[in-house]
Amino acid sequence: MTDADDAATPAATTIDWRSQPHAVVERDGVRYTLLGTAHVSSSSVEAVRAAIDGGGFDTIAVELDPQRLQSLTDPGALAKLDLVQVIRSGKTSLFAANLGLAAYQRRLAEQLGIEPGAELKAAAVDARARGLALHLIDRDVGITFKRASQRLGWWGRANLMGGLIAALFGDEDVGDDEIEKLKHGDMLEASFGEFAAGNPALYEAVIAERDRYMAARLRESATAASGAREVLAVVGAGHLRGLAQHLPEGHEEPTAARVELETVKEKSSIPWFSVMLATFVLGGFAWGFWRGGIDVGADLLLYWVLLTGTLGAIGCAVAGGHPLSILAAFLASPITPLHPALASGTISALVEAWVRKPTHADFMALRNDVATIRGWWRNRVARVLLNFFLTSLGTAIGVWLGGARMLGKLLG
């Protein structure tokens, strides 16, 4: 019998769910029972089932978004992903971040013998099995990641990505202290690793904002038309206090609050960095030809092309790229830094995905393969991601070295 079957047919349990952390809030004729759970505890699964079984609730709300619920209940969902579209739409980094979260959860599952978020899955599956109204009240992980990134400076974003990459490649056991924090905290916060500790900007986006968001979603979903009067909200214990505070005190219209917390600031319509880089590089070429003649100009141009192209191609080769992907990286790396809408990693990754199209088996094995270093080069999906990041890294190093060489010529 599968986990989903277990959740759909709750077993008899003697646990008293009221002994678990919880709070009751009444507002606008609706009573909200907030049940705080531990994302890595079998007793939380039993408490959720006991509450739904005997709590007299007509509506179940769960700390999930549609994407996370699908990943919990449909292991084959990843195989339906259009990897080429992910790359073209510029969501490669977000896809890698989601893989980091999945890899971290897999390590926890292997170590503790329970799937992280099993109690959330049980709440959703049980609600559907009993014909109860189900509301997913958490914010989309992608929006949370983007809003967190925007609150951080350049160095902060680099550290954040470093933490996520560490989660992707790490295969060591999760420490006892971290597991204990998970019992009283939040899965997303833990997934960001040590960088989340003591970082107000990250805490605001990952925890505090989501408390407000989920409070707004609860109010928004429990309208008179929905018929909700007794709502059970299953949330991580780390959100219990914030929800108990915002739910009765929030005065803002819930839909307006939700929309505000889903808003991601648009990037500047003028890509200043790309404009300045292109001006500097093209101006340097022009200066070389004008002041130094064809020899100096050609030397600067050749150095730029060979340095950026070679380092981009080396990055692609280290990622195990196909010869055509390596060639694409070499040709794209000198040009793409001067264009705000292009990236050498994107072009080489698209060629890699086209030449070595990932199979259904690659997608199905992805979560397991990214847990090991060797698996990253064996799995075609993971190798496309490596291609993207390492080609981009090689090109970036080439840009800085080429720019330094050009600056030396200009000042010499």
CA distance readout (Å), 207 to 156, 233, 344: 17, 17, 35
Query: Does residue 254 carry a pLDDT above 80?
Result: yes
**pLDDT, tens digit (0-9, with 9 covering 90-100), for 272-326:** 677 787 888 888 888 878 877 787 778 888 889 999 999 999 999 999 999 999 9
Q: Are 121 and 72 in contact (CB under 8 A)?
A: yes
User: pLDDT value at position 7?
Assistant: 46
Q: CA end-to-end span of the chain, whole Å?
A: 74
User: Which residues lie across from 34 on neighbouring strands?
Assistant: 23, 233
Greatest mean pLDDT among 62-66, 158-162, 163-167, 267-271 lies in 62-66
Give the integer Cα–Cα distance in Å for 267 and 29. 42
Do residues 119 and 17 make contact, with C-beta atoms less than 8 angstroms apart? no
What is the band of 171 on the pLDDT scale with cuts at 50, 70, 90? low
Average pLDDT (125-129) is 93
pLDDT of residue 239: 87
CA distances from 372 to 283, 367, 375, 378 (A): 46, 10, 5, 10
Question: What is the residue-averaged pLDDT of the chain?
Answer: 80
What distance in Å separates the CA atoms of residue 32 and residue 34, rounded to the nearest whole number? 6
By the 10 Å C-beta count (0-12 exposed, 13-18 middle, 19+ buried), 186 is classed as buried
Q: Could you give the percent of the chain with pLDDT greater than 90?
A: 32
For 81-93, b/e burial (b = at least 16 CB within 10 A) is: eebeebbeeeebb
* Alpha carbons 165 and 274: distance in angstroms, whole number: 26
Among 297, 336, 333, CA closest to 312:
333
Q: How far apart are CA 43 and CA 148, in angstroms?
A: 32
Q: How confident is the model at residue 166 (pLDDT cuts 50, 70, 90)?
A: low
Report pLDDT digits (tens) over 135-159: 999 998 888 888 877 777 666 666 6
DSSP class of 30: E
- Write the pLDDT tens digit of every residue in 340-392: 778 899 999 999 999 999 888 888 788 778 777 888 899 999 899 899 989 99
pLDDT of residue 351: 95
> What is the value of pTM for the model shown?
0.72
Our CA angle for 331, 336, 338, nearest 5°, is 130
Q: pLDDT of 211-238, one tens digit each?
A: 999 999 999 988 766 788 999 999 988 8
Rg (Cα) of the chain, in Å, rounded? 25
* Rounded Cα distance, 82 and 86, in Å: 6
User: For the residues 52-66, what does the mean pLDDT come to?
Assistant: 90
**SS3 track for 51-119:** HHHHCCCCEEEECCCHHHHHHHHCHHHHHHCCHHHHHHCCCHHHHHHHHHHHHHHHHHHHHHCCCCCHH
Buried b / exposed e over 368-381, threshold 16 CB at 10 Å, is: ebbbeeebbeebbb
Q: Give the pLDDT mean for 21-30.
A: 90
